[in-house]
Amino acid sequence: MTILSNQTPANLIEIRDVRYHRGDRAIFDGLNLSIPRGTVSAIMGPSGTGKTTLLNLITGQLQPDEGAVLYEGRVVCPCSRRRLYNTRRQIGVLFQHGALLTNLSVFENVAFPLRAHTRLPEQLIRQIVLMRLHSVGLRAAWQKMPSQLSGGMARRVGLARALVMDPQLIVYDEPFAGLDPIAIGAILRLIRQTNDVLGITSIVVTHDVEEARMLADLIFLIADGKVVAHGTPERMKQDDSPVVQQFMSGLADGPVPFHFPGPDYAEQLQAMSGS
């Protein structure tokens, strides 16, 4: 792991000129982005722009082809497995559908990282797990199995599990997808409260514009492999560039075309009738 500076950097995450290709397709082509400590940052963009790929780069599941992803001024990947795991212990991740271990109860799911990484006595583990479950409103559901939970409840348990090791950074992958308005409200409140009360940093990957406006301190809009706009929700609202306007207003056509790129319709019809 390369240490680039001895001082604690103001930004918890720095992404510097990252290029990443999947096959021949460039997902990121010179991506630059900084996540300040203590903020809730929303990463937004149309489907297929690489938002989840960006999370995978931040957590070291993927390695950039060029450029660097820095966590606290240190390169996340490449590095030894031990170093990577040490970094990951400081990062909590909430997956889109919770990714709870289906053969373990709610309690055991939340206790899982504690049992794996600490030698805490059972009594203390019980207290920590119940405290975390209480903070997400699911203390009474500690005995349930993941199959008995609704989508929103599974995500709240996932959040309790992500918090149990007291991380510095929490990454949320599409936390609002497929939830009813009440569950969305609960998750919104939990993300904001968790960030402010525990003084951690949060990254939320989402394409829910309204939720991002309500929640985030900063919004980064990604398109064509780059950050095309960033700033506070207010600033993004006033940004009059076509791509920002299309995304923030939910317009079907614009710089991001409605039709998948291809040949002219008339030409295609002619070619198909000819063959």
Residues engaged in binding another protein (CB under 8 A): 59, 61, 85-86, 88-89, 91, 93, 95-97, 99-102, 112-113, 116-117, 161, 165
The burial of 236, by beta-carbon neighbours within 10 Å (0-12 exposed, 13-18 middle, 19 or more buried), is given as buried
Residue 217 beta carbon to another protein: minimum distance, rounded to whole angstroms: 24
Tokens of 46: 């149309």
Q: Which is nearer to another protein, 95 or 247 (CB)?
A: 95
Query: How far apart are alpha carbons 72 and 179 in whole angstroms?
Result: 33
Q: Which is nearer to another protein, 91 or 203 (CB)?
A: 91
Q: Cβ(20)–Cβ(57) under 8 Å?
A: yes
Neighbours of 121 (CB within 10 A): 9
Q: Cβ(155)–Cβ(182) under 8 Å?
A: no
Query: How far apart are alpha carbons 233 and 236 in whole angstroms?
Result: 5
Q: Which is nearer to another protein, 20 or 247 (CB)?
A: 20
Q: Assign 15 to helix, strand or coil.
A: strand
Q: Which is nearer to another protein, 91 or 236 (CB)?
A: 91
Give the strand order in the sheet containing 74-75.
25-36, 11-22, 66-71, 74-75
Q: Which is nearer to another protein, 75 or 91 (CB)?
A: 91
Q: Which is nearer to another protein, 60 or 64 (CB)?
A: 60
Closest alpha carbon to 177 in 219, 156, 208:
208
